[in-house]
Amino acid sequence: VEASIPEPQREAWKRNQITSFTDKDGFEKEVVRHVETTLARSMFNCDEIAAYSATSLAFRDRLITHWNRTQQRQTYRDTKRVYYLSLEFLMGRALDNAMLNVGLKNVAQDGLAELGFRIEDVVKQEHDAALGNGGLGRLAACFLDSLATLNFPAWGYGLRYRYGIFKQEIIDGYQVEVPDYWLDFNPWEFPRHDVTVDIQFFGQVNKKTVGGKTISVWEAGEIVQAVAYDVPIPGYDTPTTNNLRLWSSKASGGEFDFQKFNSGDYESSVADQQRAETISAVLYPNDNLERGKELRLKQQYFWVAASLYDIVRRFKKSRRSWNEFPDQVAIQLNDTHPTLAIVELQRILVDIEGLEWDNAWEIVTSTFGYTNHTVLPEALEKWPVGLVQHLLPRHLQIIYDINLFFLQSVEKAFPDDRDMLRRVSIIEESQPKMVRMAFLAIVGSHKVNGVAELHSDLIKTTIFKDFVEIYGPDKFTNVTNGITPRRWLHQANPRLSELIASKCGGNDFLKDLTLLNQLEKHVEDKQFRKEWAEIKYANKVRLAKHIKDTTGVVVNPASLFDVQVKRIHEYKRQQLNIFGVIHRYLSLKAMTPDQRKKQLPRVSIFGGKAAPGYWMAKQIIHLINSVGAVVNKDEDIGDLLKVIFLEDYNVSKAEMICPASDISEHISTAGTEASGTSNMKFVLNGGLIIGTCDGANIEITREIGESNIFLFGNLSEDVEDLRHAHTYGSHTIDSDLDKVFNEIEKGTFGTPHDFSAMIAAVRQHGDYYLVSDDFHSYIETHQLVDEAYRNQDEWIAKCITSVSRMGFFTSDRCINEYAEEIWNVEPLAVDRHSIWGP
Ligand code: TH1
């Protein structure tokens, strides 16, 4: 590449290479320059937002240099790349992360102080990038951080939603949704108006004969343009800066159709433009639920087609043969949302590049890996055949052919098993017929993985059982989820991170989290325990202040903080938690003042969004707030119990909440939460957890030891029988839970009718989530928590021991497992000295 540029030119470029700042003075210079030129402001009208903008621009400039060099290096070495396709990337804020990863937060802190700003206030000006619903989107963000930190040549591909997940307001105890318009000023994205792809929809397929060969030609009915927006992803303590490419939709042919405009059809030209822009307008706000909307399918194809076009275009530059494609490209499907990529690549190879079907299919299946994140039936994607036919006629034909060849091979292996063919068919023969996306993803990938051991076992024995028989067990594997310790410890809890560093020989543990095990030999150290406890207390004081500022309720930071923050969902069982809180309230009320004095004060903290169309989840939020309204002003109770609902739970709030919990709740019905990742965040921040034997809780127990976790409830293998008994046997409700229900029905927490459906779900409708079955064990376990918390010394020891054993749950471990077992890619060594530093 370099050889094509004449020597004098090359010299001029090199002579003028940008040098990034490395110290306080250099940083200040850049901030002032950006305030006074880029932002056209001055010392006299530089508010905190301007300080945030200028600081971001200063760091952004620094990142761009590394980002460009990373891309050049990856292109030059031409090794295999990983592409992570995810409809969600829940990134949160970028500035703090960039400062820490680049290693210049102290410099920025000092520089901002001299210019008159506190860095914490400046960082808080940033709007969260909230392009995701919950765990699945945040996992994708943690994976990007690890991929860059470990120097893997990797790209993320997603959609640039104009509106991320809605903002939640609580009004009169009810959730109200407010649109999240976040793109006003976003220094972290780079529009690439020169990187565009035309995406077709609708139309029909015609057969043509070219050189004696019949080919299918898809004539489009509508074309929408995809425009790339790039976001730099800095690794921690490495120059590697990877790329996240987000596609935005636009009417093809610019602003609007001038043909139509000139012919007087102005309105329809504007309508066309708006229809095109609608595709990337909004993130669907459902977690663990698929509602089968046409626009959602359009989003999926739009994003997948643009990404594949981009990937193929990059591959073609190296002029290799198609058979080398899987040696150069690994594509990971984050759930079934990008499954159409399988069909699209087959279409490109067969229809456009002219490969034989079998040859193309071999390339396709060697390229893709599929990660399953849920077994909930309502979350498994199925699209009506008629809808696919209408929107993507050629793709439907290809899906039918994929299915035909697949079923032929199954028939050969299982000759007399008609029912097997019906069960595994990619097309469900229902009314209407449906395309089963998970089955298509399995057939089109070389590896399928679950996200925690229990979950990976469950998919092999339940929803994908037949496929294990067909392909053998080796196609199915497990990669237990993880989290990035950079954001979830170093950034969220700087004081704890520093204390840990002082015992673990510096900051290396942030890159090799197993080094945390060095903490264990300090567990008995009194001074260390004291400092540990002080940090936890300070984090609780910070959260207490936030609670006071946002809800007006004063909580005592010396209370036990009991936290459940995650999306509101019946399977996650916030209802179990609030029923337990009511039970505690009733017990306290029944006590004499003397008895009460002996009780441990508690703050029950909830947070999380309900999908706007999920009525029952909204009822749960309403009950929590209604209980809080009564309990928090009850003078008999005082500090003994407070019930708080934190509005608008998101990534940046999680960074404040996780370090402040004493105990957090991960209490899904066994077998329903595939992994969970906040469980890991809480333990890593020195909190204990109460949980069911579900998802990653089981592996957390294996790692930290049974005595450091509070497990309760029925096991996943018993769930089916219990549900059966509820429906067909006599169903008796736990007597303590019955008392809770009676109290709600008395009107203690407001109009009983408001909560009748929640009670009926347990009493009358089969208690699908086993709230009653687990209630007694839940209450008992909370008593154990109270007892354990009374012995603060031992409690802190449990926390330290747990943290020291959390090394397994870094997302770096996940990425290394994916790289080895699924992608077959290696990191690209970087010469730190030639391009890192001044
Ligand atoms: C979540 C799972 O519920 C959670 O257990 C897991 O830790 C996380 O993924 C990461 O693996 C899921 N989120 C979604 C969101 C949608 C559809 C399915 C799932 S599964 C939209």
List average pLDDT for each run of 10 residues in the chain, which is 838 residues long.
79 88 96 97 96 97 94 94 98 98 97 98 97 98 98 98 98 97 89 97 95 91 97 97 98 68 76 93 96 97 98 97 98 98 98 97 99 98 98 98 98 97 98 98 99 98 98 98 98 98 98 98 98 98 98 98 98 98 98 97 98 98 98 98 98 98 98 98 98 98 98 98 94 97 98 97 97 98 98 98 98 98 95 50
pLDDT recorded at residue 833: 54
Residue nearest atom 13 in ligand 1 by C-alpha distance: 136
> Are the C-beta atoms of residues 128 and 179 closer than 8 Å to each other?
no
**How confident is the model at residue 272, as a pLDDT?**
85
The finding on whether 379 has its CB within 6 A of some atom of ligand 1 is yes
Catalytic site positions? 373, 566-567, 572, 677, 681
**Ligand 1 contacts CB of residue 559 (under 6 A):** no
CA–centroid distance, residue 83 to ligand 1 (Å) = 19
pTM score: 0.97
- CB of 135 within 6 A of ligand 1: the answer is yes
For residue 170, the CA-to-ligand 1 centroid distance in Å is 25
What is the C-alpha to C-alpha distance for residues 833 and 411, in angstroms, rounded to an integer?
59
Planar angle of CA 769, 771, 774, nearest 5 degrees = 115
674 in contact with ligand 1, CB cutoff 6 A: yes
SS3 51: helix
- Distance from residue 695's CA to the centre of ligand 1 (Å): 11
Ligand 1 centroid–CA 791 distance in Å is 36
Tokens of 281: 């307008």
Distance 818 CA to ligand 1 centre (A): 18
CA–centroid distance, 136 to ligand 1, in Å, is: 4
Closest residue by Cα to atom 17, ligand 1, is 288
Q: What is the pLDDT of residue 837?
A: 37
- Ligand 1 atom nearest the C-alpha of 455 is 5
Q: Which two tokens stand for residue 661?
A: 């919990």
Query: What atom in ligand 1 is closest to the CA of residue 371?
Result: 11
Is 673 touching ligand 1 by the criterion CB < 6 Å?
yes
Q: What is the pLDDT of residue 4?
A: 80
Residue nearest to atom 10 of ligand 1 (CA): 136
pLDDT for res 256: 53
Cβ count near 818 (within 10 Å): 26
Beta-sheet strands, E only, within 413-475: 427-428, 434-436, 447-450
Predicted confidence at residue 261, as pLDDT, reads 64
Q: Which of 300, 371, 374, 669 to mutate to test the pocket of ligand 1 (most atoms within 8 A of CB)?
A: 374
CB 496 within 8 A of CB 686: yes
> Quick one: pLDDT at residue 836?
43
The confidence score (pLDDT) of residue 2 equals 54
Q: What is the pLDDT of residue 263?
A: 73
Please give the pLDDT value at position 253: 73
ipTM for the assembly: 0.99
For atom 21 of ligand 1, the residue with the nearest CA is 287
Ligand 1 pocket check for 88: Cβ under 6 Å? no
Q: 284, 286, 287, 672: which to mutate for ligand 1, most atoms within 8 A of CB?
A: 287
pLDDT of residue 3: 66
Minimum-distance ligand 1 atom for the alpha carbon of 696: 7
Count of CB atoms within 10 A of residue 638's CB?
Answer: 13
Asked if residue 288 has its Cβ within 6 Å of ligand 1, the reply is: yes
CA dihedral defined by 611, 617, 621, 624, rounded to 10 degrees? -160
Atom 18, ligand 1: which residue's CA is nearest?
A: 288
pLDDT of residue 19: 83
Give the integer Cα–Cα distance in Å for 561 and 600: 11
Determine contact, residues 107/62, Cβ cutoff 8 Å.
no
For residue 677, give every residue at least 6 positions away whose Cβ sits within 8 Å of its Cβ, in sequence order, or none: 135, 138, 139, 142, 481, 482, 483, 696
DSSP code at position 377: G
Which atom of ligand 1 approaches the CA of 87 most closely? 21
Nearest to 406 by CA among 443, 439, 442: 443
CA 600, CA 313: separation in Å to the nearest integer? 63
Mutate to test the pocket of ligand 1, among 136, 570, 679 (most ligand atoms within 8 A of CB): 136
